[in-house]
Amino acid sequence: MLAMVALGLLIGIKQKDLSGYLLGGRDLPWYSILGSIVATETSTATFLSIPGITFAATGDMRFLQLTIGYILGRVIVAVVLLPLYFKGQIYTAYEVLEQRFGGVVKSVASILFLITRNLGDGLRLFLAGIALEKVLDISLPVAIIILGVATIAYTFFGGLRAVIWSDCIQLLIYMIGGLMALAILIQSIPGGWGELMAFAEQTERMRIFDLRFVGGENFNLWTEPYTLWAGILGGALLTLGTHGTDQMFVQRYLAARSRRDASKAVIFSGFIVMGQFTLFLIIGIALACYYERVVPTTFEKNDEVFATFVVEQLPIGLVGLTLAAIFAAAMSTLSSSLHSSATSMVSDLYLPHHQRKGAVIHPDQQVRISKRFAILFGVIQIALGIGASWISDSVIRDALAIAGFTAGIMLGLFCLGVLTRKANQSGALIGIIAGIIVLSYIKFGTETAWTWLAII
């Protein structure tokens, strides 16, 4: 944590204008953006909750079907949406909407992003706090505050350049941490890898593809999140909405040296995510084998199993590395969230409001205002993280449902702007409101799986 804050300080010394602070001077190499994209979408929810999917008694590898849709969605983003973002010197995705529909639609889209982004990442901060709570034996609210304050600090000082390079370091740390934890798990199981694979086959946890379209009385396509159809269609549409229209990712593309570099970063990141999910799903199977055959244990929540193993079973040194990996996964997502929220707030809402009044805001002042908003959103996420400890049952389900909730609405809005000429500002706003009402009913009034929400 101290190293990340120091990195932010070091990089922040050179940043004097809004482009440098918000977009890293538009001069970042594609591989750093690729690493940042992967680290940003890999929160502690991935690190701790994805192993919980295959740890569950009925768990298996079908979650991987989503990554096929993720890759397909990224290719479409690179081909269709990136050309829009590289037409002019824009700071946010929602400036494209202003050019097509006007300032009101841009403002509404930006507010919708700010609400859902900070709500979802408040949940992710809560999950990261669980690990810190266990290892330091402190209260969960204090753990959440420690993580939140450290992330606010390096985001505040360093801007996007610090966020992206720290994301790359954090990606490396948590991948090493995951691999080392899996190696220790395999060594802890009598019979090693062979026993693990035998256990996986016996419990049917290695199943990847679910080709069912219609089934018996116990199967419903719309309530089952992990079929091939939900994975390809839902995963692609979700990715188009998040990676194509979400400011947190669009901001990274705009920091690239060229559109070609941004395309390489977004497409190849899909394959890295597929490998990463495979690793954490296998860790879940190994945890199930360990806690069933080696140290029989029951858990109230599957989200807590990996964190418990790390703290209680890993040797000194490795436990520190893996905890650092857990915190790295959390901080990479949270720092990106804070920075993109500050960018959207300043570029889409604050500056246009003051410019309409005729105010002239100096570049130095714009940077200071952006930093203050980063602090504000950090405080909001800390408060939400503390509140989540009383309401969230399965963090990854809640966080992904929230992402799916708005991703389809935003994608629909962008498609209206790009693919039609008849749609106007009033129609776009009615579409947003209708989408929110319909999805609210479907999410809270039906059993429809979260993978279908973006399509709907």
Q: What confidence score (pLDDT) does residue 15 get?
A: 65
Distance CA 118, CA 112 (A): 10
Q: How far is CA 366 from CA 21, 335, 345, 373, in A?
A: 10, 19, 11, 11
Helices 259-289, 140-188: inter-axial angle, 10-degree rounding: 70
The answer to whether residue 90 is domain-embedded is yes
405 domain-assigned? no
Task: Give rounded-to-5 percent helix, strand, coil for the chain.
Answer: 80, 0, 20
Domain containing residue 304: 28-396
Domain for residue 409, yes or no? no
Number of domains in the chain: 1
Q: Do 110 and 433 touch, CB atoms closer than 8 A?
A: no
Q: What are phi and psi of 256, to 5 degrees?
A: -75, 160
Residue 337 included in any domain: yes
Whether residue 86 lies inside any domain: the answer is yes
Task: Compute the distance between CA of residue 383 and CA of residue 255 in angstroms, rounded to an integer.
Answer: 30
The token duo for 146 is 């420690």
- Sole residue written with tokens 């809270």: 444
- Give residue 404's pLDDT: 60
Residue 385 lies in a domain: yes
The CATH number covering residue 135 comes to 1.20.1730.10
Is the distance from CB of 156 to CB of 375 less than 8 angstroms? yes
Helix, strand or coil, per DSSP, at residue 218: coil
Give phi and psi for 129, each to the nearest 5. -65, -30
pLDDT for 336 equals 86
Q: Which residues contact 324 (CB under 8 A, 6 or more apart)?
A: 173, 177
What's the confidence (pLDDT) of residue 2?
Answer: 82
Closest CA to 331 of 91, 169, 136, 147: 147
Residue 396: per-residue pLDDT: 52
Model pLDDT, residue 179? 94
**Structural domain contains residue 51:** yes
User: How wide is the angle at C-alpha 70 spanned by C-alphas 206 and 335, nearest 5°?
Assistant: 105
**Does residue 433 lie within any of the structural domains?**
no
Q: Is 28 helix (H, G, I), strand (E, B) or coil?
A: strand
Q: What is the mean pLDDT of each run of 10 residues along the chain (456 residues)?
A: 82 71 83 93 78 93 95 95 82 83 91 87 81 81 91 85 88 90 94 95 94 72 88 92 89 92 97 96 96 91 86 84 80 87 90 82 83 94 86 58 76 86 91 90 86 88
Distance CA 335, CA 163 (A): 6
Q: Going by C-beta distance under 8 Å and a sequence separation of 6 or more, which residues neighbour residue 450?
A: 225, 397, 400, 401, 404
pTM: 0.87
Which pLDDT score is estimated for 65?
95
**Residue 357: phi, psi to the nearest 5?**
-85, 0
N-term to C-term CA, the chain: 40
Contact between 306 and 283 under an 8 Å Cβ cutoff? The reply is: yes
